[in-house]
Amino acid sequence: MARMSRMKSKGWMLVMAGIMMQGCSDSPPPPESAGDAAEVTGAAAAADNPFFAVSPLPLQYPPFDRIREEHYVPAFERGMSEQLAEIDAIVSQTAEASFANTVVPLEVSGQLLNRVSTVFFSMSSAHTNEAIQAIETDISPRLSAHYDAILLNPGLFARVRAVYEQRESAGLDPESLRLLEETWRDFVRAGAELDTAEQERLRAINTELSELETRFSQNVLDEVNRSAIVVESREELTGLTAAEIQRAADAAAARDLPGKYVIPLTNTSGQPALVTLQNRALRQRIMEASLVRGSSGGEFDNTAIVSRVAALRAERAQLLGYPHYAAYVLEKQTARTPEAANARLAAMIGPAIRNAEREAADLQQQIRAEGVDFQLAAWDWSYYAEKVRQQRYSFDETQLKPYFELDNVLLKGVFFAAGQLYGISFRERNDLPVYQEDVRVFDVLEADGSQLGLFLFDPFARPSKQGGAWMNDYVPQSQLLGTRPVVANHLNIPKPPAGEPVLLTFDEVITAFHEFGHALHGLFSAVNYPSLSGTSVPRDFVEYPSQVNEMWATWPDVLRNYAVHYQTGEPMPQDLLDKALAAQQFNQGFATSEQLMASITDMALHQLAPDAVPAADELLQFEADTLTAAGANLDMLPPRYRLPYFSHIMGGYAAGYYSYIWSEVLDADTVEWFKRSGGMTRENGQHFRDTLLSRGGSADALGLFVDFKGAEPDVTPLLIRRGLN
């Protein structure tokens, strides 16, 4: 499952990635009007703008209590102006270009712009409102033009090229050489070698793309919030727990619908309520509403946006000398070529679909065994899969939740595992400001008590928050800048009514461990240059360390420490755990297939020439034809994301959703290494930290894996894990 999105400052160039997945619970503060935001000028609040100076708080932690919406635009404008002045200073030097006088000052330029960007784009995902959305609509194309002005600056590129051409004799250390090569590649891939007319077209494409991608993301969030299912009676909700029904009643009351119930949608095709809702007609309503999002006309229809974005990306790739956008993207990934990614997907989709068809036959048999006669449909799958799971393994997910109380999971599970492996510890602090009352902040301490970094934990869903789960860093680690990491994890756990415990599903527990794997990647970074820090690695490698961290959720010593009943304190019974673990391969045909189907559609769309991209009214037929050609078009099994609400491909995973499967090969292989090497030991943890987690993007990603494991990756452990061998 896709569980991450992030916005991070990558040295002097902002990288924004918005991968969003789930629903909402409590309400945000009243938003300012979009009109007010549009009238903000560069002069407003200049005297007290907190972005204009480095934060005085520990480790440059953002001063959230001082940040107001009127501060953003002036900070963006001054930040862009300052950075362009810094670029002019680099270009106007009379001294011969060198790594020290060209690449290093470029690397550290734009610090004010980075400060405001990291906070603003985090808020646009974690705690947005109409004013922030209006600012985002305005500022995104301006940022695109700003970075074009840098990357397409001929004087700056001439200096970077001069340094690059002398790289073999420059005596650079490996990390500095890596930075130089990546900087050169960024300029070339941005169009620095194009002629003037081609560069002008590229600028126009980039500006339009930034506008369209912002509109797409805002449409997805707005439609998810407005497409909730209104239910008239409590009887229709039979199968939901009392707490879930109360949340539905509270959601209805918040929408001025007293006496009714509201079931919010998540951004995936499947919806959580479908697992237990007994009312088939209601299940159908929910699934059909989910599947038509972004494609049913009206203000949130994204089909024209997806079509236009795909065509612009294809045109941009061809301008830069690539046959299509996928070739452009994968050049910098560990897969290297679309052909390699296609081959991995093709090798897995056949076994996955065959498993899914066998699972479908079991579910159809269960339907008939209950004395009813209808054909299994998409809205039936989760409901009957849970019934078969209960029969086959004699347990259901609700039996696990009392043992997964949030504080125990976080403090005695996630943090405990990190302490056992890496010797680090955590101390909660209440003296630092937060942007929303449920956010918590922790010091992260090394084994000797010195401070490693700061960690923010934002666990709950709310309407102001994009769906899904992700990590971002507010301050990236850099020895050059003398900064230590400030990182955050964002989840979307439904917040229970006041006074009730926060009990997690098994999947939410795994997600908490997964996202903290990303946090560790950022916290353990020990590199010189900020653009190579932490999770600044290829997209099809970034999920690997976080997937590895999932293994500790069910490691016996860790599980015993946190999986205790929230009322009695009794540990989870071993037989219940055994059943849960045995059931992990259950329904893997479905789970693998829906993920692969989304990956295949993503890759197919981004391997088209501009004139072959389907029009808006052809988009869903293209999706269906693509899946049919792959042997994966099953009515009862939709892809995890359909193109009109596939936020990954607008937020950094375009031609990259295959990354989750690709990096899981490394993950499964690493899990086997830990098991063979003695499991959860400080020695093993330190080896993983030293050879891989601390290195960020300072070396070739697969090279780091080989340094860690001592051998090339092996796909066999993944096939066994997924039941596809």
CA-closest candidate to residue 591, choices 356, 287, 344, 351: 356
Distances (CA, A) of 473 to 333, 422, 666: 22, 20, 24
Contact by Cβ (8 Å): 280, 402: no
Query: Which residues, listed in sequence order, are joined to residue 368 by a DSSP beta bridge?
Result: none
The catalytic residue among 223, 315, 515, 550 is 515
- Report the side by side order of strands in the sheet with 425-429: 425-429, 440-445, 451-460, 486-493, 470-475
CA gap 157, 650 in Å, rounded: 28
The answer to whether 515 is a known catalytic residue is yes
The whole-angstrom separation of Cα 575 and Cα 572 is 9
Q: Residue 263 forms beta bridges with which residues?
A: 229
Angle at 82 between CA 79 and CA 86, to 5 degrees: 135
Cα 529 from Cα 63, distance rounded (Å): 24
**Which of 9, 18, 215 is closest to 125 using CA atoms?**
18
Cβ within 8 Å of residue 287, ≥6 positions away? 269, 270, 271, 274, 377, 378, 379
CA 570 to CA 564: how far, in whole Å?
Answer: 5
The two beta strands, 451-460 and 486-493, are parallel
* Buried b / exposed e along 130-141 (16+ C-beta atoms within 10 A): bbbbbbbbbbbb
* Alpha-carbon gap, residue 172 to 170, rounded angstroms: 6
**Which has the closest alpha carbon to 216: 657, 658, 616, 649?**
649
DSSP state of 414: I
Residue 505, amino acid: T
Residue 274 DSSP one-character state: G
Question: HSE (CB half, 13 Å, CA atoms) of 419?
Answer: 17
Work out the widest C-alpha separation in the chain, in whole angstroms.
86
Question: How far apart are the C-alpha atoms of 465 and 122, rounded to whole Å?
Answer: 10
Cα first-last separation, the chain:
20
Q: Which of 315, 307, 300, 139 is nearest to 223 (CA)?
A: 300
Interatomic CA distance for residues 670 and 664, integer angstroms: 9
Catalytic residue ranges: 515
